[in-house]
A and B are shown apart, each in its own frame.
Chain A
């Protein structure tokens, strides 16, 4: 190996991680769109997209292989690329072009600080292991508003503008309760590094299910550890935090039941009314990427991230134990798959909510954000602080 490469070798694992994470997230975005159509079809008792598969007739076979419409995202992507890219005459071109990019980039950038696995071959499975990862996520998410504001303003049309104004007001409002709802978690864990937050949950039980480090021993004597009064009492504020944070993620990602910015009965398409072809696809991808990032965050903060409790009966005791990549490469891969599984479960949950609940009215949305969630989140912080004063570590 030539010498001049040596000082740059440390970049190799980072680049591999960036490329793999980017590819996986984009793949998830593509298949989330298919999943959304399938879920909506299931809920509305339709079939959904089921035609696009392997075009075997091109190779001389009698029939195409549909495989349940599994290649639909490829066809969608191709369609978006080939559609005419129309820039209406009344827009402000520079900002009109900038807006879609500014929507996608922050949504994808946030995932960099989220740990998607324990360790693999001795490398931490996170792209950017920063000490203030928690704040980084919020900083980048707050920048995500610009794309939408700019799209609404530069389109120079009333529908777009109203959609943009609604969306940005909504995002600013819910960012507050979103941040406040997580302060109790930080009080309990004392960490801002997302990787360490997951590690804390791996050893002390998940935030939402504190018994995932349970240990029941029956011989030679009875002993139960892993669930004490402190954890049971702290469970209540953690549940409140979870509800507020998850609802705020719905609002942040502009998804139903909070999809007022693009409520088609009033605003045509909202802030992306004037966009076509790939630029529209960018907003679409941005929305799904933001949803996946939000689900990854919920997983990291509340559902133990990559952690999977392994039940083991040994020496007269039943215990749920933690396995990381240090115990073997297979465990490391299992951790990554666990994380992906949790994220996909949450994404499907988001879709079920979208196709089940009706849309909120705008004043209801604002009241929910400012009057209910904001106050409950504040009270929650006080509650946790008092509990921690009585039950220190």
Chain B
């Protein structure tokens, strides 16, 4: 991929991620997060990981964020817009953020593997098949456990929401 595209999508991601925090309107924040996800998906696609990129859009942008947006709109949060930003949390947030960033940069810069050029992939990768085979052979037990967990969570949600009705 051309580095120009990498920079474009990375900057887009970061800019909209910042907007998520800065925007006072919750709907605007949610939509900024969607754009940020799309930038992330584009980065995955640029790494030839079409499957992960598409799933990123399908699951996060298409399903999770639609539900978020849906709830935000139904609640019609007006209080958040009126809230004034005070100095203490702002400075605290910036300090924590920059500390984390410095740490990340130092760790990544200290890792020798980060400076190696990436070997070229041998042709198009059938990533869906690879992921599926790995999931159903090597990681079969974790997959089953996650499936059971999700089922329990779903049943729990149904039970809780039904109790609310009575």
Within 8 A of B (CB), among A139-194: 139-143, 145-146, 149-150, 152-153, 161, 164-165, 168-169, 172, 175, 192
B73: Cβ under 8 A from any A Cβ:
yes
Interface residue stretch chosen among A129-137, A262-270, A380-388: A129-137
A149 with B66: CB separation less than 8 A: yes
A146 with B54: CB separation less than 8 A: no
- Given the known inter-chain contacts A153-B73, A168-B70, please indicate yes or no for A131 contacting B58, CB distance below 8 A: no
A153 with B62: CB separation less than 8 A: no
B57: Cβ under 8 A from any A Cβ:
yes
CB distance from A114 to the nearest CB of B (A): 15
Closest residue of chain B to A176 (Cβ to Cβ) is B63
CB distance from B155 to the nearest CB of A (A): 15
Complex Cα–Cα for A142 and B51 (A):
16
A138: Cβ under 8 A from any B Cβ:
yes
CB distance from A166 to the nearest CB of B (A): 12
B54 with A153: CB separation less than 8 A: no
B50 with A165: CB separation less than 8 A: no
- Given the known inter-chain contacts A149-B70, A153-B73, A168-B66, please indicate yes or no for A143 contacting B50, CB distance below 8 A: no
| Residue total for A at the interface (Cβ-Cβ under 8 A) | 26
Closest residue of chain A to B62 (Cβ to Cβ) is A142
Closest residue of chain B to A140 (Cβ to Cβ) is B57
Chain B neighbourhood of A136, CB < 8 A: 54
A172 with B63: CB separation less than 8 A: yes
Chain A neighbourhood of B61, CB < 8 A: 139, 142-143
CB distance from B97 to the nearest CB of A (A): 27
CB distance from A97 to the nearest CB of B (A): 13
Chain A neighbourhood of B146, CB < 8 A: none
Complex Cα–Cα for A153 and B69 (A):
10
- Given the known inter-chain contacts A130-B50, A146-B66, A149-B73, please indicate yes or no for A135 contacting B124, CB distance below 8 A: no
A143 with B57: CB separation less than 8 A: yes
B66 with A132: CB separation less than 8 A: no
Closest residue of chain A to B52 (Cβ to Cβ) is A132
Chain A neighbourhood of B70, CB < 8 A: 149, 165, 168-169, 172
Chain B neighbourhood of A130, CB < 8 A: 50
Chain B neighbourhood of A140, CB < 8 A: 57
Q: Type the 1/0 row for B38-69, where 1 means its CB is closer than 8 Å to any CB of A.
A: 00000000000011001101100111001101
30 A-B pairs in the complex with CB atoms less than 8 angstroms apart: A95-B27, A131-B124, A131-B127, A132-B51, A135-B51, A135-B54, A138-B62, A139-B54, A139-B61, A139-B62, A140-B57, A142-B57, A142-B58, A143-B57, A143-B62, A145-B62, A145-B66, A146-B66, A149-B66, A149-B69, A149-B73, A153-B27, A161-B73, A165-B73, A168-B70, A169-B70, A172-B66, A172-B67, A172-B70, A175-B63
B interface vs A, CB < 8 Å?
27, 31, 34, 50-51, 54-55, 57-58, 61-63, 66-67, 69-70, 73-74, 124, 126-128
